[in-house]
Structure 1
């Protein structure tokens, strides 16, 4: 255990090689000369109890390149598909807690393609977005909103705002406390900040390594999000769990007097347990994969996005492993450093492997039941059943 230089994060666990994933790719390697894998340090912030990625200059440099050269950090929000469901859920929260936008200045940080910004404009807001990815400019033209092509803070974003909105942004910042302070400096009197972040509590409590991404520096739960906000001299007025998508939504405001932090006495123990569980579960999955592919037998992995981290942590050879997913936007694409293309269900049915491992712990049992009816000769296993062995190890 050590404290990283120039950081308040106590380092608890280090892995030499974790996939540097910015999304599914058209080829098995990252573009722009970016590495396919980088080290990852897991720790805990001693101020807030926040599970965090430790400071790493190589990661920071790679992210800087990725954000400048690719459509990295895309918003979950879009005008159709699952992005529309995410957006409508967040909008329902905003409508419920804010209500009136007519004539009010609104800034969205990390506005993506501008769909949410357009919805706030249609509610009467005077809106401005800021987005470093080039896709923001495409959205600005299509939706008819102004989106600054830059990182926040930016000299092109001036004045004070009644509402500042950011969803799936705060977890990407190395120092979310400092960032919130900068945001607050551009709030008008009586202004409010509206935030959405992934709720990582289920992943941390279950030892699930699939949630770790180099682009995420912070892994919030309700208490550590509250502490982060309070450390920035702000107060959480409203904090809710999303109805869809596993996020935390909150409305925050400046305060004149400091607000006490929420005690998280078990933060270090929780983070240490998370690290131990990830290693134990990776070992169990390695045993399962090695047994399933022995003598050249083929194994299919469903939902590979939840598998690639474990594969790296466990040092698995994947010569006989194929990837399957029902997300058609990922069909035929790759994860960096993995040569198996992502196949769809039709390809699975046409050429089934000897066994299938379903990596989702939420919809895995339902999918297993469906596939069992379609592939009666294939052994189908849910990852939860593999990890159930953990209690006996």
Structure 2
């Protein structure tokens, strides 16, 4: 489960509500199956134009994690990324590239990595969406207008095993589903869960829950970060789909348009938000650098990508060839550092655009076709390199 965004299924929301771009072809019948096709670097459109050194801070964070693993530890599902030992030399080389030296960064990747086209059973086209780190207003004390609680994990939340179906609460000696969003919004958790902070806008809070983690700018001027600590275990229902089914939106069904409608119709919006039974609980994120992805490293704006780890190894560099919400080519190096419950399949990505309103405006409108190239060390362990 994505520590930052996946826990809240951002991509499901955006995929259900973003302004349509040219849609990828229908997915192939049958289960997803990654097939890797070798490429040369001159086959990557835009390769020489990307400011490649900008990806190195993200890569070095992942290198720091991978190189602490046992030497024979497999990287990625079924060892598609070789072993941790295969990454030592590329990671050491990355440390020697000077900040801002894009030519040296390209030489690094061309020298130490092999690009592989990722396909789903031979089909190269996929879908790319976006997510961001929200910033909302808050106060440590309940006082007008800060009257909406942001809850930590409740003391009566029971997790009996792995998987969200095992989450609930005890009632009359038996485990029952936990309270829904609608019930929580009516105040059922007061006294059952700690209130970490109070916010002034339930719509902004709901959007933060869709994204996952976020920042709260307090009324004393300080900023705190909150990370996902758990959920109530209910299935996510995208508010975009709810509003579309109700005929509440016009041609613009992007996330910014959805937010505007919800704020313009607070009472009806609160009722419709309640149709998403899923609710996110928070804890304080004291890391400081930024929101944490599933890999356990702070995400880098415009260079971190959420992927399906059943196919793409976390920590691996990837080349994204897609389109941004303004219709411009989006061709750049990123690093697979996060996951998402709605990010499914080999050719599927969710671009982390950063924090705040500007990032929201981009992430909330992104739903673009694209292709993905996976960079793997040239010297992968032979027993794992075959796929």
Normalization by structure 2: what TM-score? 0.22
Higher helix share: 1
User: Which structure carries more relative contact order (alpha carbon 8 Å, separation 6+)?
Assistant: 2
Normalization by structure 1: what TM-score? 0.22
